């Protein structure tokens, strides 16, 4: 085998090991997609939206955050984790979710998710 061939084989083996280790040790979708889940990183669970015209936002804890989508009552979501934010003098809980129908991920105020 040529020197070039040995290098390609070694690089391929290294990538295979890294990819294999990444798959075996991969964190949950929430941890990968959003490290701001500071309350819980539980197993993903099914949920649904409990209010009408609920904003799915880019970031948690701010009503100034861009709205990614408006969700309707009973929309199905996958809940990845919960985040806590201090807003004014209150503590607010937000869920990082995926809207199942569109695949869009973002933050929803926790009171609107069951």
- Burial class of residue 32 in the structure, from the number of CB atoms within 10 Å of its CB (0-12 exposed, 13-18 middle, 19+ buried): exposed
Per-residue pLDDT, 61: 77
Whether residue 84 has pLDDT greater than 80: yes
Whether residue 83 has pLDDT greater than 50: yes
DSSP, collapsed to helix, strand or coil, labels residue 51 as: coil
Instruction: Lay out the sheet containing 67-71: strands in order across.
Output: 45-48, 76-87, 90-99, 105-109, 54-57, 67-71
Q: Is 98:80 a contact under the CB 8 Å cutoff?
A: yes
Q: What is the pLDDT of residues 16-72, one digit of tens each?
A: 333 343 333 344 444 444 666 766 656 789 999 999 999 999 998 777 899 999 999
Q: What is the mean pLDDT of the chain?
A: 75
Structure letter (DSSP) for residue 113: B
Per-residue pLDDT, 75: 98
Give the distance, in angstroms, between the CA of residue 76 and the centroid of all CA atoms in the same chain. Answer: 15
């Amino acid at each position: 085998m040529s020197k070039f061939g040995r290098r390609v084989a070694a690089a391929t083996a290294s990538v295979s090991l890294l990819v294999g280790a990444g798959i075996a040790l991969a964190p949950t979708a929430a941890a990968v997609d959003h490290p701001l889940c500071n309350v819980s990183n539980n197993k993903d669970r099914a949920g649904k939206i409990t209010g009408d015209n609920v904003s799915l936002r880019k970031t948690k804890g701010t009503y100034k955050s861009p709205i990614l989508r408006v969700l309707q009552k009973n929309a199905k979501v996958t809940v990845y984790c919960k985040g806590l934010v201090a807003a004014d003098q209150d503590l607010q809980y937000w869920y990082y979710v995926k809207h199942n129908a569109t695949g869009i991920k973002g933050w929803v105020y926790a009171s609107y998710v069951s």
